[in-house]
A = this chain, B = another copy of it.
Amino acid sequence: MADAVEPTGPSKSALKKAEKQAKMAAERAAKAAKQAALPVQTKKADNIIGITVSKAEDFPQWYQEVVLKAQMIEYYNEISGFYILRPAAMYIWSAIRKWFQERIELLGVEETSFPMFLSQTSFEKEKDHVEGFAPELAWVTKAGDKPLDVPVAVRPTSEAVMYPYYSKWIRTHRDLPFRLNQWNSVVRWEAKQTTPFLRAREFLWQEGHTAHLTEELAGKEVLQILEYYAGIFEQLLAVPVVRGRKTENEKFAGGYYTTTVEGYIPANGRGIQGATSHCLGQNFSKMFDIKVEDPVTKGKHINVWQNSWGLSTRVIGVMVMVHGDDKGLVLPPRIAKVQAVIIPVGITKSTTPEERANLEKKVAEIKETLSKSGVRVETDWREGYTPAWKFNDWELKGVPLRIEFGPKDAAKDVVSWARRDTGEKGTTAIPEIATAVPELLETIQKDMYDRADKCFREHRLQLTNWDEVIPALDAKNVVLIPHCLNGACEDRIKELTTGTPELSADGQTKAPTMGMKSLCIPFEQPEGIKVGETECLSPECSRKAEQWCMFGRSY
């Protein structure tokens, strides 16, 4: 599978510092929250449990605080580069898993589970993989206190684990299409700076590995899967993506071609690879001797056409980065475990037990009505916390809709609500909530997508003047430029757009600005390129442009 975790560029030290600060802030906040749990001290905690920096001002620290404080992630202190996925993250991953699994089952993809280890000998069969993955392999060299005769590595991906068996199992063309998928975790012991979800030394993913009789059939599946990946981003996570093909430089090593969905992080203007669906061509089937008798020209044997495709927990990080704000996480309703939270308000010292009992009864009715309408709803009756503290707490956790209900609302037979995404407030008559709340949640889902889509479109600049490229990147855009699709030209473009290290005001050397790399060749090509006429935009390139290629600083 393609490297699901792409380089983050030269801001290592900044990230490291941010990570440390985030940890310290988290520890302070945890301590404060522990105190806040005691009824007498709730007020004090109000300002501390939230995010301590602004997304605009210090994006790396903001991100680390959000994933920690919204309880998606815990740092695994014992071994660096590993993270614990907490229920708030696993709920989303399970929702994605269910959505995708249903669809691939209909395609006829079956589930499998291969061992997590790869022996040194079998790994060496695949030259391209050895080169690509060798520096990141975790090697088991002993069991108990006995050294292993042949060391084994934890899989970084499973081509070399699985394909020897494809050769055994695929016996006739009637076994095709042959499609297996597994949900597992893989290990890539990166030396680079790790980031929760985006780059971890172990991550959860699914990896599909299929075989087909013809290039056409394989190609059809590649696009079908890519469309499902796009669906996960667009329909579940409310994150827009650009579908396209990777350049030769960026494609899966050893494969034939790679298709991809590419996302965009507005806060820093970087592109980010979302998920990839590869056609491996016949390269692997030749290496692993996977062939069948040609049903047309009997007697002749042909190597099968293979695909592999993977989507990882990275998608959760992209969602957090795109939608989160200074109050914390913002969840799209479709993947929120709690879509609406009811917070009773207006209870004071002068509230009588009868009044309270009455309120409790009405809140229970509201909750039941919403549950029956399919809304995932919780009520927050926690004692010893002010409504304001609770508002902050649920905002931090990203719950899409807050419903407030107190004696004043009861008197008017309404609920008051506040949208997490926009902060917009309103009231809805109780007899209408059964239909209005589910509709409102779908509106939130749609609005979140539309806003993110508008933002991505506005920051995808179609340029035909090289001088505008670096200013566009500095203004947090990705760019679409006419390009020759030559690998060397692509490498040179990266160099040309990399800034030189500077001395900052305090005398420290500032890291150079990141160069741009090709993100994809979008399937949807704007007009304007005349084949054989239009020139490649690189100032040093004398080739003609082949297509519009999307470039950007990237993860």
- Chain A interface (Cβ < 8 Å from any Cβ of B): 30, 33-34, 37, 74, 76-79, 82-87, 89-91, 93-94, 110-119, 121-122, 134-145, 150, 152, 154, 161, 164-165, 168-169, 171-172, 174, 180, 184-185, 187, 189, 191, 202, 204, 382
Contacts and interface: CB of A to CB of B under 8 A. Distances in A.
B84 A187 contact: no
Nearest to A185: B116
A137 B141 contact: no
Contacts of A84: 112-115, 165
B137 A139 contact: no
Given A110-B90, A189-B143, A117 B85 contact: no
A79 B111 contact: no
A189 B148 CA distance: 11
Given A138-B140, A138-B143, A142-B141, A87 B115 contact: no
A119 B171 contact: no
A139 B135 contact: no
Most chain B CB atoms below 10 A, which of A114, A144, A180, A184: A144
Nearest 6 pairs of A and B residues by beta carbon? A87-B110, A143-B189, A90-B111, A85-B113, A135-B144, A82-B115
Given A143-B136, A144-B137, A165-B84, A94 B111 contact: yes
Contacts of A137: 143-144
Contacts of A37: 171-172, 174
15 contacts: A37-B172, A74-B165, A74-B168, A76-B114, A82-B115, A84-B112, A84-B115, A90-B113, A113-B185, A116-B116, A117-B202, A134-B145, A136-B144, A138-B140, A139-B140
A115 B30 contact: no
B171 A34 contact: yes
Contact of A115 (B76, B152, B189): B76
A86 B168 CA distance: 13
Contacts of A189: 143-144
Contacts of A150: 79
A34 B172 CA distance: 8
A468 to B, nearest CB: 41
Contacts of A161: 78
Contacts of A152: 79
B116 A202 contact: yes
A148 to B, nearest CB: 9
Contacts of A165: 74, 84
Contacts of A169: 74
A404 to B, nearest CB: 22
A169 B202 CA distance: 22
B112 A87 contact: yes
A79 B117 contact: yes
A29 to B, nearest CB: 12
Nearest to A183: B183
Contacts of A144: 134-137, 189, 191
B85 A168 contact: no
Given A87-B112, A180-B87, A82 B117 contact: yes
A83 B161 CA distance: 12
Contacts of A119: 78-79
Contacts of A145: 134-135
A139 B141 contact: yes
Contacts of A91: 110-111
A394 B240 CA distance: 46
Contacts of A191: 144
A110 B112 CA distance: 25
Nearest to A101: B94
B134 A83 contact: no
A92 B184 CA distance: 17
A130 to B, nearest CB: 12
Contacts of A174: 37, 382
Contacts of A140: 138-141, 154
A74 B166 CA distance: 11
A446 to B, nearest CB: 28
Contacts of A136: 143-144
Contact of A78 (B118, B141, B172): B118
Contacts of A115: 76, 79, 82-84, 202
Nearest to A137: B144
A202 B161 CA distance: 15
A171 B141 contact: no
A113 to B, nearest CB: 4
Contacts of A172: 34, 37
A405 B77 CA distance: 64
Given A37-B174, A79-B152, A141-B141, A86 B74 contact: no
